Amino acid sequence: MPRFEPFAALRYARREPLDEVTSPPYDVLSTTDVEVLLSRHEHNIVAIDVPLDRDGPRRYDLAAERLAAWIADGVMVHDDLPSLTLYRMEFTDTTGRRRRTVGVIGALEVVDEGADGVLPHERTTPKAKTDRLDLTRATHANLSPIWALSLTDGLSAVLDDQGEPVGRCVDEEGVVHLVERIVDPVRIAAISAAVAANPVLIADGHHRYAVSRSYRDEVRAATGRVDTDAELTMTYVAELAAEQLSIDPIHRVYRGISAEALEARLAQYGTIHDAGIVTTRVGAETIDRGAMCVVHGDGTGTWFTPRADAFAGVRALDGAYLEHVLGDQTGGDRDAIDVSYQHGVQNVIELMREGRADVAVLIRPTGIDEIRRTAIERLLMPPKSTFFTPKLRTGLVMRSLR
């Protein structure tokens, strides 16, 4: 089972306004978003975490220089003692229910691909890893945590007692993020043992974990050692439990097939009927109806309700159903159907209205039971099967690798 250890965290000094210097994860930010965050405060973490192309070939070196300067100037400070960090979020979910979740940030062991302790939960899409790897090489730091799910029942109860408050901020969506430091060796040992008792499932950050493995291998090759900080990577771990997770779907967007052609295929596996004009309310209706919604370019939609017997032997996931319906038509050849992924019903509506796709399908969120089955049976879901919300804030906790 994977090691999970405390580390001497790097944090913003208490004088820095966390609402203004923290940011959403790098992979949900556009260049415009980065510019807005930089205009908000000169010490916003994106100045380091999201090197811009405009900075040229030295952008990663410049990011590292900024990090070193901020530490030297006291903008960021290292904890005196190794700690674990409790990370709580308070928010209202898409159903209108007020929620409070808790996880813990520590250093998780970087294991070889295919090893049993740290498991992927979905197939990943091709994605350049050089950006994160180049940034890690330059800064020698984990700037944002990977999100993992623990199979240890009762982990949330172990994390329930408060620690020393060290940070609070409210993000653009009104989510309250609170971090508390744990330095008591007895409590650290109990939490670390609970996390290490069972495998963890990577929920968000498959690519960052792969980058951590590549960086670890480079450090091993350069030093001949297997006991450096590169052997672990900063990770947020929450219990795989319904009360700790809020999961949104990631919808499917297609080029190379018309809405009519897609519906003709879907009709072989269930019923099709009119949905009228597609609005943001349709996202919740997919759950209530037990159906997917095909979105047309004119803003209208059709409901697709799968037949109970139509997908025998197929994972109970809308993404898997769609892969089955389309067969090998999605692929690399010139005439293949091209699939991309989009979070948020309104984003899909706007994309279709602008003519940037031929058809889209709004799918239902993945259930906790299917995620647990994925872990227990060592299975992989289709790409982009889950979108865990709210997103962790970058800048609340960082980890030096030297």
* Token reading at 65: 């220089």
- Give the up-direction half-sphere exposure of residue 306: CA atoms within 13 A in the CB hemisphere: 23
Q: What is the reported pLDDT for 253?
A: 96
* Token reading at 2: 């994977």
Q: What is the reported pLDDT for 96?
A: 81
Residue in 391, 376, 384 with CA at minimum distance from that of residue 318: 384
For 184-207, what is the HEC assignment? CHHHHHHHHHHHHCCCEEEEECHH
Supply the pTM of this predicted model: 0.88
Q: In sequence order, what DSSP letters do the residues of 3-29 get, joined into one string?
A: -EE-B--EEE-TTS-HHHH-BS-GGG-
The whole-angstrom separation of Cα 381 and Cα 386 is 9
For 284-347, what is the HEC assignment? HHHHHHCCEEEECCCCEEEEEEECCCCCCCCCCCHHHHHHHHHHHHECCCCCCEEEEEEECHHH
* Token reading at 364: 């239902």
Sequential pLDDT tens for the chain (402 residues): 899 999 999 999 999 999 999 999 998 898 999 999 999 999 999 999 999 888 888 999 999 999 999 999 999 999 999 999 999 999 998 778 899 999 999 999 999 988 889 998 777 665 555 899 999 999 999 999 999 999 999 999 999 999 999 999 999 999 999 999 999 999 999 999 999 999 999 999 888 999 999 999 999 999 999 999 999 999 999 999 999 999 889 999 999 999 999 999 999 999 999 999 999 999 889 999 999 999 999 999 999 999 989 999 898 899 999 999 998 555 444 458 999 999 889 999 999 999 999 999 999 999 888 888 888 888 888 888 888 889 999 999 999 998
The answer to whether 105 touches 192, Cβ cutoff 8 Å, is no
Tell me the domains of the chain and their CATH numbers: 4-246+390-400 (no CATH), 250-364 (3.30.1760)
Residues making up the chain, counted from first to last: 402
Q: What is the reported pLDDT for 333?
A: 43
